[in-house]
Amino acid sequence: MNKVLDLIRLMRPHQWVKNAFVFTGLIFGHFWGDADLVFRVVCAAIGFSLVSSSVYVLNDLLDRAADAVHPKKQQRPLAAGRVSVQAAVGLGIILMAVGLSLGWWVSARALAMLVGYAVLNIAYSLHLKHVVLIDVFIIAAGFMLRILVGTFGVGIPPSQWLVLCGLMITLFLGFSKRRAEVLTLGDGNSVHRRVLEHYSPVLLDKMIGITASGVIMSYSLYTMSPETIRIHHTANLIYTVPFVIFGVFRYIYLLHHQQKGTDTAHDIFRDAWLLGAVVCWLAATLALIS
């Protein structure tokens, strides 16, 4: 039973919350009444979850030696020696095969995006995670592909404002993650992640400030866009902006004063104020566009 649990941990299922981005087009495009389309988007999200888990397995395989001396990552199943290399490889192959099969069933475009995500992240795991700035932009590209597979991949026209807002959010979270790693690992950060030697706290704080402003401005402009008002039949989405501002500010607070930021999925569910902001934003948004 413990081995099964370790294999599940290796898949990092808590990270699947990131695949909520796949549902962006379904929710904001008013397509939730189309049962067939909803089912295809759900399958796309499951496919993305499995492919991303396969990439996590590969990443843990490549980083198991470095993770073994990391203050937190040493408890990962591969780094701790609780899962064998052979078992991890087998799991990764199965997850990738099933995930891509689901993408193929959804559409050829969805499959192409899943393949693109896999190739991009394999390149990230092998080398690009050591290239300054490129590492964060690849993380952001993964989220962009999530949005596109749930829109373009199933025939829903993507909103340009939401795509821009998604880009700003993912860059903000990516630079915040690097800032958290610098804070957590201290002077020995380059031992655990080589790219950190190219980042300084001052540089990262500037990038976080720029992208945080981009999140707030792009989302605010989306709520006031004539196209948004026409699609949702309301001009009141502007009243959801305070939840977004609070969420961004709360995340920055957690980053600097509570040493959070290394794992966004965990941070959202472990901080009551941040989770409350997300829930209130979602509830208000759904109430306004329903």
Residue 172's nearest CA partner among 283, 247, 274 is 247
pLDDT confidence of residue 182: 83
| Spans of the chain, pLDDT less than 50 | 189
pLDDT confidence of residue 87: 85
Cα dist from 162 to 21, 25, 147, 157, whole Å: 10, 9, 9, 11
- Counted residue by residue, the chain has a size of 290
Tell which CATH classification among 3.20.20.140, 1.10.3720.10, 3.30.1330.20, 1.10.357.140 matches the domain 1-158. Answer: 1.10.357.140
Query: What's this model's pTM, rounded to 2 decimal places?
Result: 0.82
Contacts of 50 (CB under 8 A, 6+ apart): 95, 96, 98, 99, 102
CA separation for the pair 278, 247 (Å, rounded): 7
pLDDT confidence of residue 84: 83
Domain boundaries, given as residue ranges, for the chain: 1-158, 159-290
Longest dimension (CA), the chain: 56
pLDDT confidence of residue 29: 81
pLDDT confidence of residue 63: 74
φ and ψ at residue 56, rounded to 5 degrees: -60, -40
Q: What's the mean per-residue pLDDT of the chain? A: 87
Contact assessment for residue 75 and residue 12, using Cβ atoms and an 8 Å cutoff: no
